[in-house]
Chains A and B, each alone.
Chain A
């Protein structure tokens, strides 16, 4: 499954990043790398983007980008 499918409040572990180029690098620079624990805290009032907790801080990511991150629960 991908990070975009994780329910709100759910926790998961990153398996693989399937995106490419600058966006993938940016996501990884922000600490989402293979094996990272990620919690989906909430979704914005209009339904996108997501708010995640990763490596002890909060990060916001669009669902489209979250869909490029494969995770396991």
Chain B
């Protein structure tokens, strides 16, 4: 039979390093059933029959935290063949506290002393043999980081496991308490089955630990007998049983420390010196701000974004250059080409020639295919007919008219340019046949000529599909549905790598607990933890790594709340939506205040939600205890550190391959399949791009449009109950910026950018009723899409991070519900005050607003649940 060895120890005792050293780090990460505590299991590198389980880092085997419950259940119920209790010798006193409890589980146990090299450096001396006889079990010296003593440690554990030899747990309590424990054991004995450790259950029963007692199912008489024993000791020692046990454990350890350790005179350690500066009353905050700015700068605005741009535009886009110099010269050539505005020259000249009666059939195609003879023939004919175009206005890449300064000229709804005072349009001078020929024959720069150009995945896949003779349907599914959808999500991977390189470093070196220390006071006010700050900061770049960053929050309630709220901070993909709104409102996307303003609104949404949720049942109760170790600073071991980063990134990639994959294919299916002319026509169902009579913007016939129609009523009170608005919101689930492109497609504008004035005008039209722009509806639409469920990538990450279906749906429901209510309030109040409309939904909106305000300002309700413990 395989040998199972459990690895127990305090947080920060080097357990993960040891685990990685022993297993070669191909650990399987999973969750313990029912809780969000991670479980690591892997075979020993030197003997595959030995399976090592890494228990969560814990300080005690109390019944109060999921980590502790999972660990004690593993030791007491699953009964591993042996236990390695890893102890950080630089912090021996507190580490031995867990050791005394592990030894009571009655399993073959070896104590591994870690970081012995650091102990020697400090000058302290430890008598290992004396410690071994005090603890009644083998003790092995070593250092996981330097791979010292590992073979001896595992050898001891393996032989203990095969012989099954358990030592006698040390009698750590005072004679009076030991007597009471013996009496308790006598009461329990008839009810224990084989393999249930008597001493462990006796102590837990004496403490009144209900979780442990429940597993035994004792009759009432036994419980009463134990209660009497406990009450006697409690009266005698004037304390509760749990405190007596804890105090006496530490008292015994103090004795052990005196007998086994000779302490060198204590000098100020490097770690203490660092901490004096880093969490200094005056310098603490500025240093914290600098670290956060650095994280944000590297992960969100520079290196991370470069990586993501490369992945999105290069790897999952057209392609990329190997050398930056080639990329630059290509961009310059492309820029020069764009500046010439050849497209406008050709279009304007063809239009003029057509008007003058010159045959233009097939000329555009001839230019496309490089049929120089046909183009030349046309140019000669046009020239002979004397076709010239005076003063053709200049366009930019988004199709906007430009003025002579190069600024965008706004158009009105009829598409006529609106010039402000002193603004004049920029013109091409007269276009004649010669200029036309030059434009028609101008060649767009070809990337391959500027250096080694690697085609992107979609280009390569398209090539394969073409070679294999795949149908349009298959091509669309693979390219738009799978490569496009999953690719847009995998595009975040480089950014996540950068982010986790930084966050894992902060965590592994010990600064993360200082972040919580510094920020605790500010965030506790809103019912969040000091550690919630980092997820919120990261989410302003991308919600996916933001949600992943919540991993460092140990408290379940705080972590869930942060996961729920962090995507309300506007991420990078939401900026095109903001730009679209600003285009309508202020006629431009420039303005330094726009981004900070929306971040502020997002932060306000988070704070309002946090305060409200804190007063609801699932989040209510005592504030999470903030009793936190501030571990000594140290440089993380490179290998463990990199593994730590990789584990987090890999967890995300796996998700992209499953839930996100299915969701993307689903939305692709909805938007490409439909009923021909479902609003009027033949009613045949099929693949729309290939349907003979489908209009150019075939999405109008798609099932997505149908679904949009079916759910549009939900948004009617928010003022945007059109199927287009609903369909835009749906497609925004793949990626938030899709809202803008889908909008363009639905309104037949083609692939336009958010900088297009035409798009702004159309967007404003969608919310124009009877000639008036319904500002409330437009703001409600934007607010809803900012606050509702995030993109599939983030939704998938929420699912993973919650590790609980109920919590996951609760989070999605809250996000959508909150977005809807905010949209409702905005639109109804606007209608009330601007239009004087008053109706049923106005009342609902006012009630919602009142509800939010009451929930915000009512006092915290008294916690109804008492702590688990009850005195017998």
Interface size on B, residues (CB 8 A): 46
Docked complex: A26-60 residues within 8 A CB-CB of B: 26-31, 33-36, 42-49, 51, 55-60
A-B contact count (CB 8 A): 130
Q: Is B589 an interface residue (CB 8 A)?
A: no
Docked complex: A4-38 residues within 8 A CB-CB of B: 17, 20-31, 33-36
A44 close to B521 (CB less than 8 A): yes
Bound-state Cα–Cα, A15 to B97, Å:
20
Bound-state Cα–Cα, A38 to B867, Å:
27
| CB nearest to A28 among chain B residues | B246
B64 close to A47 (CB less than 8 A): no
Q: A17-B243, A21-B869, A61-B627 are in contact. Are A30 and B517 (CB under 8 A)?
A: no
Complex partner residue of A24 from B243, B524, B632, CB under 8 angstroms:
B243
Q: Is B250 an interface residue (CB 8 A)?
A: yes
Q: A31-B250, A56-B91 are in contact. Are A45 and B282 (CB under 8 A)?
A: yes
B521 close to A55 (CB less than 8 A): no
Q: Is A70 an interface residue (CB 8 A)?
A: no
A25 close to B281 (CB less than 8 A): no
Q: A26-B627, A30-B629, A58-B630 are in contact. Are A49 and B521 (CB under 8 A)?
A: yes
Contacting residues, chain B, for A35 (C-beta < 8 A)? 247, 251
Bound-state Cα–Cα, A55 to B90, Å:
11
A33 close to B247 (CB less than 8 A): yes
Bound-state Cα–Cα, A42 to B275, Å:
10
| CB nearest to A47 among chain B residues | B521
Bound-state Cα–Cα, A48 to B518, Å:
8
B91 close to A57 (CB less than 8 A): yes
A60 close to B513 (CB less than 8 A): yes
Q: A29-B246, A30-B59 are in contact. Are A45 and B281 (CB under 8 A)?
A: yes
Bound-state Cα–Cα, A45 to B629, Å:
18
Interchain nearest-CB distance for A21 vs B (Å) = 3
A55 close to B517 (CB less than 8 A): no
Complex partner residue of B627 from A27, A34, A51, A57, CB under 8 angstroms:
A27
Q: Is B313 an interface residue (CB 8 A)?
A: no
A60 close to B247 (CB less than 8 A): no
Bound-state Cα–Cα, A62 to B242, Å:
22
Q: Is B644 an interface residue (CB 8 A)?
A: no
| CB nearest to B626 among chain A residues | A62
Q: Which of B94, B524, B866 has the most CB of A within 10 A?
A: B94
A56 close to B625 (CB less than 8 A): no
Q: Which of A20, A35, A45, A55 has the most CB of B within 10 A?
A: A45
Complex partner residue of A59 from B92, B280, B629, CB under 8 angstroms:
B629
Q: Is B134 an interface residue (CB 8 A)?
A: no
Complex partner residue of A45 from B247, B285, B625, B632, CB under 8 angstroms:
B285
A22 close to B520 (CB less than 8 A): no
Q: A20-B867, A23-B627 are in contact. Are A45 and B518 (CB under 8 A)?
A: yes
Bound-state Cα–Cα, A33 to B93, Å:
13
Contacting residues, chain B, for A31 (C-beta < 8 A)? 93-94, 97, 250
Q: Is B587 an interface residue (CB 8 A)?
A: no
Bound-state Cα–Cα, A47 to B282, Å:
11
Q: Is B692 an interface residue (CB 8 A)?
A: no
Bound-state Cα–Cα, A20 to B250, Å:
19
Q: A44-B279, A51-B279 are in contact. Are A29 and B520 (CB under 8 A)?
A: no
Bound-state Cα–Cα, A27 to B285, Å:
27
Give 1 or 0 for each of B622-649: 1 = CB within 8 Å of chain A CB: 1001111111100000000000000000
Q: Is B522 an interface residue (CB 8 A)?
A: yes
Docked complex: B240-295 residues within 8 A CB-CB of A: 242-243, 246-247, 250-251, 275, 279-282, 284-285, 288
Q: A22-B867, A60-B630 are in contact. Are A28 and B243 (CB under 8 A)?
A: yes
Contacting residues, chain B, for A58 (C-beta < 8 A)? 275, 629-632
| CB nearest to B286 among chain A residues | A45
Interchain nearest-CB distance for A61 vs B (Å) = 6
Interchain nearest-CB distance for B115 vs A (Å) = 13
Complex partner residue of A29 from B60, B281, B285, B524, CB under 8 angstroms:
B60
Contacting residues, chain A, for B626 (C-beta < 8 A)? 49, 60-62, 65
Bound-state Cα–Cα, A62 to B622, Å:
13
Complex partner residue of B284 from A20, A36, A45, A48, CB under 8 angstroms:
A45
Bound-state Cα–Cα, A1 to B629, Å:
24
Known: A23-B625, A23-B627, A30-B94. 11 other contacts (CB 8 A): A20-B867, A21-B867, A34-B247, A42-B281, A49-B520, A55-B250, A56-B91, A57-B94, A58-B275, A59-B628, A60-B629
Closest 9 pairs between A and B when the two form their complex, measured CB to CB: A21-B867, A45-B284, A29-B60, A46-B521, A58-B630, A33-B247, A22-B64, A28-B246, A23-B625
25 contacts between A and B (CB under 8 A): A20-B867, A22-B867, A23-B622, A29-B246, A31-B94, A31-B97, A33-B247, A34-B239, A35-B251, A44-B284, A44-B520, A45-B284, A46-B519, A46-B521, A48-B521, A49-B520, A51-B517, A51-B630, A57-B94, A57-B630, A58-B275, A58-B629, A58-B631, A60-B630, A65-B626
